[in-house]
Structure 1
Amino acid sequence: MTGKILVLALVLSAAIAAAAMYYLQVYGFYYEVAAEPGRDVQLVPQGGGAAEPIDYANFSAIDADSSPIRYRACFETGLSLEELSARFSPAEDPEPLNAPGWFDCFDAPDLARALQDGTARAFIGGKNIHFGVDRIVAVTDAGRGYAWNALNNCGQKAYDGTVVGEECPPRPEN
């Protein structure tokens, strides 16, 4: 009888731990980002410089303090891909990161296909939003916009243990 109780306690605690881990990974750390008109969607002009806001509507975003690359946003814009391409810096090899399933406006596989087939283009939304992390903003030809954070070259080096080098900004102290 003691063995059955012990096995039941182990199975129950494993199930509770698994459920808690799933909840924390998919729901627990995320929070909705409060919209800040004129600051939510910005793009870096060609030739560099400070990011400039663009016109947008229907902004929705999530973020988490547990990782600098958990930011995801969706919006709409009336600007055409040609207008954006003429003014703003393109992002090289953008790879949309998956969003939690409950944040259904952001579909990374569909966005990746749109970027690949040319019906969407990606731009740099900000350099070093956090150390080694850039904001990428993609816009489709239908005016749907998406934003996410991605590791830049310095971030990839810093997080895989490679020597960062002088071309990267100094890492902030905690």
Structure 2
Amino acid sequence: MGKILATAIVACALIAGAAMYYLQVYAFYDEVAADGRTDVQITSLITGVPEPVLYDGFHAIDASSSPIRYRACFTTSMSHPMLTETFVLYDKAEPLVAPNWFDCFDAKALGAALEEGRALAFLGTENIEYGIDRIVAIDEDGRGWVWHQINRCGAIVFDGQRAPDDCPPPPASTY
């Protein structure tokens, strides 16, 4: 009887583990269809408003289960000098890991390219959702990536603290 019970417990644990892995890595993600206008936008130095960027080969995923699950890849013909003269740079870019099956987004390689200066990070849209910024990074060869990252105000509020005076007020119903 003990062997049967132990086998049942192990089988349930394996099934639950496999289900959690599937749900975490595959189930909640959806492909994002390109609309041709708002897919890749970077905040302008002059206007402070996100503006569309020329791009090709847009491929993106998102999940409604978390505001930081958005990932996208694209290519652009815009050069680093043109981009830095036109758009707001983002100093503390930290690419977040994407699921292995979304192979165009390699957070480790992108992080290395950012550290080495081969890729530059720009502010896509500040507070695309409260406390979350959309970041756009572009490599020297024109490959580009987009992801969502928790900003300073979001990190403080999501940690349960009061928003600093220089941050927008958080939505009342959420935090």
Instruction: Report the TM-score when normalising by structure 1.
Output: 0.95
Per-residue CA deviations over 1:130-163 (Å, capped at 9, x if unaligned) read 1100000000000000000000111100112222
Indicate the residue corresponding to 1:96 in structure 2: 95
Q: Residues of 2 paired with 1:114 and 1:94: CA distance? A: 11
Indicate the residue corresponding to 2:54 in structure 1: 55
Q: Residues of 2 paired with 1:55 and 1:67: CA distance? A: 28
* Code of the aligned partner of 2:78: L
- How many Å apart are 1:48 and its aligned residue? 5.2
SS, match of residue 72 in structure 2? strand
1:162/1:48 Cα in 2 relative to 1: closer, same or farther (>3 Å)?
A: farther
Indicate the residue corresponding to 1:66 in structure 2: 65
- How many Å apart are 1:49 and its aligned residue? 2.3
- Consecutive unaligned residues of structure 2, counting only runs of 5 or more, are none
SS, match of residue 3 in structure 2? helix
Per-residue CA deviations over 1:36-68 (Å, capped at 9, x if unaligned) read 101100000115522000100000001111111
Per-residue CA deviations over 1:66-111 (Å, capped at 9, x if unaligned) read 1111110000000001100000000012111111100000011111
SS, match of residue 68 in structure 1? coil
Q: Residues of 2 paired with 1:110 and 1:62: CA distance? A: 19
* Code of the aligned partner of 2:104: C
Indicate the residue corresponding to 2:28 in structure 1: 29
Indicate the residue corresponding to 2:133 in structure 1: 134
1:168/1:48 Cα in 2 relative to 1: closer, same or farther (>3 Å)?
A: farther
How well do the aligned residues superpose, as a CA RMSD in angstroms? 1.1
SS, match of residue 116 in structure 1? helix
Indicate the residue corresponding to 1:105 in structure 2: 104
Q: Does the 8 Å contact 2:44/2:87 carry over to 1?
A: yes
* Code of the aligned partner of 2:118: T
Indicate the residue corresponding to 2:14 in structure 1: 15
- How many Å apart are 1:31 and its aligned residue? 0.8
- How many Å apart are 1:167 and its aligned residue? 2.2
Q: Does the 8 Å contact 1:138/1:145 carry over to 2?
A: yes
Indicate the residue corresponding to 2:39 in structure 1: 40
Q: Residues of 2 paired with 1:47 and 1:83: CA distance? A: 14
SS, match of residue 145 in structure 2? strand
> Which piece of structure 1 moves more, 140-149 or 47-56?
47-56
- How many Å apart are 1:29 and its aligned residue? 1.0
Q: Does the 8 Å contact 1:73/1:146 carry over to 2?
A: yes
Instruction: Report the TM-score when normalising by structure 2.
Output: 0.95
